[in-house]
């Protein structure tokens, strides 16, 4: 018996969001994601490398890349959303919608690009670094900061270019280590296959 075209189309649309997220919300998955969120919170809010009003360089992307790589795009999106929602009241910061959107999109991209079996080190690390930094950092976060501080977008973007160059280099440098970490977790059974 064949599926009719509308049934098939709706299945494919649903499939686009679930086929790569084969991690059901079990207690084990939730606790692992929560651990990565806590680690990202500490690395970003308490141990930044550079912390200026319009430029922040941290290693918080490492645990968030792990969430996307291990659990998929929806978990990456949820992890960034939870991290920001918990961080605002704890750090006493006001919610900034465009920056929140930038982080959620970045988490989704981590999962979309990195949650695959056929992960190739260089193509995926470069695609991941550039897509997350251009879409999440250069466009959305800079737009949010421009709106927050009332500064023109282009001068603010130009002042943040060194940050993007450093973060792209860090993403590419750390990526091979994270791939080995993923394989080690899967081999020991600490992460799903």
21 lies in a domain? no
The domain that holds 149 is classified in CATH as 1.10.1760.20
Dihedral pair phi/psi, residue 72, rounded to 5° = 105, 180
| Per-residue tokens: 191 | 């992460």
The mean pLDDT of the chain is 85
Residue 35, helix vs strand vs coil: helix
> Could you give the angle at the alpha carbon of 80 between the alpha carbons of 54 and 29, nearest 5°?
155
- Domain total in the chain: 1
> How many CA within 13 A on the CB side of residue 104?
12
pLDDT of residue 193: 53
According to the model, what pLDDT value does residue 6 have? Answer: 47
pTM metric for this prediction: 0.83
pLDDT of residue 159: 93
Q: Is residue 141 part of a domain?
A: yes
78 located within any domain: yes
pLDDT of 73 strictly over 50: yes
Range of the domain at 148: 26-188
Quote the pLDDT of residue 160.
93
Is 14 within a domain?
no
**Each residue of 96-117: pLDDT tens digit?**
899 999 999 999 999 999 998 8
Q: For residue 19, tell me if it sits in a domain.
A: no
pLDDT digits (tens, 9 = 90+) for 130-189: 999 999 999 999 999 999 889 999 999 999 999 999 999 999 999 999 999 988 888 887
């Amino acid at each position: 018996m064949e599926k009719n075209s509308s049934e098939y189309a709706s299945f494919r649309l649903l499939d686009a969001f679930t086929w790569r997220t084969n991690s059901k919300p079990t207690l084990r998955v939730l606790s692992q994601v929560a651990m990565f969120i806590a680690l990202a919170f500490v690395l970003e809010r308490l141990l930044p490398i550079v912390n200026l009003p319009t430029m922040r360089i941290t290693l918080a992307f490492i645990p968030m890349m792990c969430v996307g790589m291990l659990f998929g795009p929806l978990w990456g999106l949820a992890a960034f959303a939870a991290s920001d929602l918990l961080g605002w009241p704890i750090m006493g910061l006001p919610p900034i919608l465009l920056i929140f959107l930038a982080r959620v999109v970045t988490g989704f991209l981590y999962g979309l690009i990195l949650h695959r079996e056929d992960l190739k080190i260089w193509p995926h690390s470069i695609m991941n670094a550039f897509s997350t930094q251009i879409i999440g950092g250069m466009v959305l976060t800079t737009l949010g900061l421009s709106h927050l501080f009332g500064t023109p977008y282009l001068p603010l973007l130009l002042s943040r270019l060194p940050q993007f160059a450093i973060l792209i280099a860090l993403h590419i440098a750390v990526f091979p280590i994270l791939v080995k970490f993923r394989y080690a977790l899967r081999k020991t059974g600490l992460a799903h296959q």
